[in-house]
Structure 1
Amino acid sequence: MTAFNGQVNNLAQLIHWAVERAPDAVYGVDTAHVGMRDALLTANMLSGQLLAHGIRARSRIAFVGATSEHYLIMWMATQLSGIEVALLNPNLPRDLLHDMLEDLNPLAVALFDDTLMSLLNDVQWPVIDARRAWDGVVDCSSPVVATDGPGSPDAPDTGGIDCTETDIACYVHTSGTSGRPKFCALSHGYFLRLGRFVSDTLGYAANDVVFAPMPMFHINPLGYGVVSAWTAAAGVLGTQKFSVSRFWDIAKATGATSIVLHFAAMKMLMEKTDRSHSDGHRIRSALCVNAEFLERFNVSIGTTAYGSTEAGGLCHMWHVRPGDASPVQEGPLFYGGRARFDVEAKISESGEILVRELAPNTLFSGYLKDGVVVSALDEDRWFHTGDRGRLDAVGGLVFIERMSESLRVNGEFVPIDYVERHLEAAAGIREFAIWGRPHAISGQQVVLWVTDDGFDPARMTEAIQMLPKFMRPGEIVVIERLPRDSGVNKIQRRRLSEEPPVRTLAVTYGPSLADVRIDR
């Protein structure tokens, strides 16, 4: 491999820089971590073995791990090798995983889990057994040979050190709540810019330990956590599995100084833990939290943010501090704020958020289709996010809702997050969601799904009465559980109607707005 000369143009160079700056910074998960120098040695062993199996720089493989521990070492190894790696959610249905692998068509599939090894024995690609990766050992079921192009035996292999900012580092798939998950192609430059933006915004330094407890196949912990920590030569830790009950104990035991969360995770911590659980932590900053979270858990500074894997990870962000008033009323966590210096945004006539990069390799490179990365930008280089938003009084971007997850009753858009926050506060319910069903007269009807029908009928009736007519549920469906994304715990609204109902309660309305009855 070409020697590193101190210039950081790709992730392999960033890893070397971080090790040179802070060789003992922690890397791994809370229960199993090493210093960055030792992680680099192990990852280099893996890199050499991948090359020996015929997997060369700029070739594409898939990786399906079981925990963040697995993703962290293979992610480092593939970046040192210059391999394009697609990270897949292991909890997706097996037939869907197989279909996604066919879309990806990798040279090989790396697996880290006994169950996955047995269930995917029939795949047509060579299987890389990565169960001993942290010992520096991988094994391939058969030699991997590409016939031409990148990864072929005749192609020169310089590893990841010589990758350009435009070269693809990784594929991260979307959640797939509205169809088969799509693979987003993310370049080295994308990760370098995103890591620098987060690191600078939260002021990371080499003595920080960034705790990113969400699964590593999402951009949230990988980009906002791992790469931003490398950017500051800080330590970074994931966890085997996100646990609300153990979160604060882990944060305290690891000496975490910053945490990278997600709206769903923050909400669960707010609901199920309090100051008595968090006392004694060393956390000074948190990403994707609100002012109430900071005040309750004694954290000095936080950020709310808007973005997506496609839209530069985080393309807008603003700081919040304990005691801050909520800046806007719409949207989960009031996503929005000031733009990155390398991104601009505008609102289309239909209310959709459009974003455009002001510097190359800031947004994603496109979606992978039939083995080719296809740009998703329009003729003026704008990316259409599919999100509804607005600009606030000072030009800050405010996220309202996903356009594909919007409800429209009698021509009026129902602000889902607003209605849910209202019902949570006024009716005192917790595990629930609203979504819609077709309606012959109004087009759609609001439906409330709950996992417990032991709510107070009087409070629920009063809460419904306080809502405008078009926001009111037409029925309440009791189900055993809410369908959630296995990675970040988002409610998958489009699957609500697939859950078998335990019982259905009709909500009827009289001639006056105050005339509401729940038929139990």
Structure 2
Amino acid sequence: MNTDSRVPPRDEVVLRYLLERRAAEDPERVFVVFDGGPVWTRGELLEQVRRTAAQLQSLGVGQNDHVVCWLPNGPEMMRFWFAINYLGAVFVPINTAYRGGVLSHVLDNADAEVLVGAAELIPRIDEAGSPERLRRVIQVGGTERCSLEGPDVVTVDEIAETQHVLVEPAEPVEPWHTQAIYYTSGTTGPSKGVLCSYMQSWAGFSPQAMPFLTRDDRFLINMPAFHVGGSTLVYAMLVNGGSVAVTARFSGENFWRQIRESDSTAVFLLGVMAQFVERRAPAPDDARNPLRTVFTSPLIDDVAGFAQRFGVDVYTIYNMTELSAPIVSGPNPTLRGTCGKVRAGVEVRLVDEADREVPIGDVGEIVVRTDAPWTVTHGYYRMPEATAKAWRNGWFHTGDSARRDAEGNFFFVDRLKDAIRRRGENISSMEVENEILAHPKVREAAVVAVPGEISEDEVLAIVSPVPGETIDPVELIRFLEPRMAHYMVPRYVRFLSELPKTPTAKIQKNVLREAALTEDTWDREKSGITISR
């Protein structure tokens, strides 16, 4: 019996029991609308999940087993994900862009005997070298069965014919059990499998943490399920009694069509997504839409203008795969660059390299701990050293830096690995990027460090112009000069039509750093442009 009031009952937290509860409450209420696809009520979703769970069980999947899902957003991803958790097994979604050595590492690390994969992706398993533990691949789509050297391949149509009576889990699925393993991008080393419990998924988006998300909301999911910005928000709406609209991916061109056709009231816009929406040509019907709530991370510059133009409330948030949304803003924050204040149930400190708290206003690493158990990751799977490094002195170390004002507002500065040091000064790449993005002809921007001739770093800005526009690097520098400290003004500028991105729309700074100073990179100093102090 649970006697800890900080841990809610199973049917408020654990997917299996929560789904059954929602279906029993109102089986005809719509839970998910797929863009260009079916609409499932709560009752229909439960029926799909139970049928799929029986099929997985017939293949030997049981409680606590790891099952890899290598699928794009859509009905197949949702029913297999929910079915995996319905059995008490562990959902392991992986990036649909994986191939080669990265794919080999992740499949080996995941310890899964069964993989559910899209037909067009499955041949990459042989190319990467199938791990010995993987014994069965369930093929989704395709006109012919894929052939692999190691594991057997069975199609979804074949397992749909399986007659199997669903057997209940041997033990109840508990809030502290592992729900999922999410793999981080691994830009500084091998991708790490982040262990996430049901409690962690629940804590950041429960009614207590996000009271403005209600049963009347429909959240547009435009992030992939292998990213917590996709899957956790689906779970959040199950927790809050609302519904979701699922799209294959974010599309600036189709965004408002998807919002209106799905009657979505809430959306999360990560990074450049918000810029695409904001820079769309104004239209008379901009505010005539069902949207009420927009999360952006990082916070857009003109919050008031965005809120008024589209008739929405804007929120921002600080989160990462390992956490449960510890910092959240109120509606329409007026402080530029804030990521909000610490929510109830969480402690956040900013510390130096010795874990000493830094003074208010100074930059320090964000470290986190929570009041309730299991609401932060319980480790990196099969990576004890990485787990120990992150969990030091009783606090989870994020690897992110921020500063805080006297009122408790936090301002994200940078990933520690992305920080730039030039002329004895520390530079936030994000702050430089924000000023570059203020230029009307700039569509996207990324700032990275490149080695200086003597020591420390020089600043390289990689800029993507608005389609049809050309940017003069001298004019860009003159635009930036009055907007930032002299040492922050980029020395180098390179123009690309499109910046390299991950499938979750994050700019791949590691790729840009590796390319460094290409032949087409403009050098301010060689052009004779000086910056006054």
- Shorter-chain TM-score bucket reads 0.7 to 0.9
SS of 1:272's partner is: coil
Would you say the 8 A contact 1:343–1:362 is kept in 2? no
Q: In the superposition, relative to structure 1, how do residues 499 and 127 fare at CA in structure 2: closer, same or farther (>3 Å)?
A: farther
Aligned to 2:277: 269
**Worse-matched range after superposition: 78-87 or 446-455:** 446-455
Cα drift, residue 503 of structure 1: 1.4
Would you say the 8 A contact 1:354–1:382 is kept in 2? yes
Q: Which amino acid aligns with 2:122?
A: M
Residue correspondences, number: 480
2:478 is aligned, of 455, 462, 466, to 462
Aligned to 2:510: 494
Cα drift, residue 57 of structure 1: 0.7
**Is 1:53 matched with 2:59?**
yes
What are the Cα deviations for residues 136-172 of structure 1, in whole angstroms up to 9, with x where unaligned? xxxx9379xxxxxxxxxxxx97439811111101011
Taking the aligned partners of 1:445 and 1:287, their CA distance within structure 2 comes to 33
Cα drift, residue 419 of structure 1: 1.5
Taking the aligned partners of 2:77 and 2:270, their CA distance within structure 1 comes to 19
Aligned to 1:131: 140
The 5 A counterparts of 1:62-101 are 62-101=68-107
Taking the aligned partners of 1:391 and 1:480, their CA distance within structure 2 comes to 36
Taking the aligned partners of 2:400 and 2:119, their CA distance within structure 1 comes to 39
1:215 is aligned, of 224, 230, 247, to 224
Would you say the 8 A contact 1:18–1:232 is kept in 2? no
Taking the aligned partners of 1:104 and 1:116, their CA distance within structure 2 comes to 17
What are the Cα deviations for residues 392-413 of structure 1, in whole angstroms up to 9, with x where unaligned? 2212332211111111112211
1:315 is aligned, of 326, 335, 350, to 326
What are the Cα deviations for residues 239-267 of structure 1, in whole angstroms up to 9, with x where unaligned? 02221111101110111122233233212
Q: In the superposition, relative to structure 1, how do residues 423 and 16 fare at CA in structure 2: closer, same or farther (>3 Å)?
A: same
Aligned to 1:404: 417
Taking the aligned partners of 1:68 and 1:413, their CA distance within structure 2 comes to 44
Would you say the 8 A contact 1:29–1:68 is kept in 2? yes
The 5 A counterparts of 1:496-511 are 496-499=512-515, 501=518, 503-508=520-525
**Worse-matched range after superposition: 428-437 or 98-107:** 428-437
- Return the structure number with greater relative CO, CA threshold 8 A, min gap 6: 1
What are the Cα deviations for residues 57-98 of structure 1, in whole angstroms up to 9, with x where unaligned? 111121110234432221111111111121101113343112
Aligned to 2:121: 116
Taking the aligned partners of 2:91 and 2:205, their CA distance within structure 1 comes to 18
1:295 is aligned, of 290, 307, 310, to 307
Q: Which amino acid aligns with 2:223?
A: M
Q: In the superposition, relative to structure 1, how do residues 82 and 442 fare at CA in structure 2: closer, same or farther (>3 Å)?
A: same
**Is 1:477 matched with 2:480?**
no
Aligned to 1:43: 49
Aligned to 1:358: 371
Aligned to 1:389: 402
Would you say the 8 A contact 1:19–1:233 is kept in 2? no
Would you say the 8 A contact 1:208–1:234 is kept in 2? yes
Q: In the superposition, relative to structure 1, how do residues 317 and 307 fare at CA in structure 2: closer, same or farther (>3 Å)?
A: same
Q: Which amino acid aligns with 1:203?
A: L
Would you say the 8 A contact 1:427–1:456 is kept in 2? no
Q: Which amino acid aligns with 1:241?
A: R
Aligned to 2:346: 343
Q: In the superposition, relative to structure 1, how do residues 427 and 374 fare at CA in structure 2: closer, same or farther (>3 Å)?
A: closer
Aligned to 2:17: 13
SS of 1:383's partner is: strand
Taking the aligned partners of 1:74 and 1:251, their CA distance within structure 2 comes to 25
Cα drift, residue 301 of structure 1: 2.0
Q: In the superposition, relative to structure 1, how do residues 127 and 440 fare at CA in structure 2: closer, same or farther (>3 Å)?
A: same
Cα drift, residue 347 of structure 1: 0.7
The 5 A counterparts of 1:187-202 are 187-197=197-207, 200-202=210-212
TM-align CA RMSD:
3.0
Aligned to 2:192: 182
Give identity over the alignment, percent: 20
**Worse-matched range after superposition: 188-197 or 386-395:** 188-197
**Worse-matched range after superposition: 21-30 or 338-347:** 21-30
Q: In the superposition, relative to structure 1, how do residues 391 and 197 fare at CA in structure 2: closer, same or farther (>3 Å)?
A: farther
Q: Which amino acid aligns with 1:86?
A: V
Q: In the superposition, relative to structure 1, how do residues 104 and 418 fare at CA in structure 2: closer, same or farther (>3 Å)?
A: same
Q: In the superposition, relative to structure 1, how do residues 56 and 474 fare at CA in structure 2: closer, same or farther (>3 Å)?
A: same
SS of 1:413's partner is: strand
The 5 A counterparts of 1:141-180 are 141=152, 158-159=168-169, 162-180=172-190
Q: Which runs of 5+ in 1 are unaligned?
A: 134-139, 144-155, 516-520
Aligned to 2:148: none
SS of 1:253's partner is: helix
Q: Which amino acid aligns with 2:423?
A: N
SS of 2:96's partner is: coil
Would you say the 8 A contact 2:113–2:136 is kept in 1? no
Using the size of structure 1 for normalisation, the TM-score is: 0.84
SS of 1:15's partner is: helix
Taking the aligned partners of 2:10 and 2:319, their CA distance within structure 1 comes to 31
Cα drift, residue 275 of structure 1: 4.3
Q: In the superposition, relative to structure 1, how do residues 92 and 160 fare at CA in structure 2: closer, same or farther (>3 Å)?
A: farther
Q: In the superposition, relative to structure 1, how do residues 174 and 276 fare at CA in structure 2: closer, same or farther (>3 Å)?
A: farther
Would you say the 8 A contact 1:69–1:239 is kept in 2? no
Using the size of structure 2 for normalisation, the TM-score is: 0.82
Aligned to 2:428: 415
Would you say the 8 A contact 1:175–1:181 is kept in 2? yes
Cα drift, residue 342 of structure 1: 1.8
1:285 is aligned, of 286, 293, 296, to 293
Q: In the superposition, relative to structure 1, how do residues 498 and 248 fare at CA in structure 2: closer, same or farther (>3 Å)?
A: same
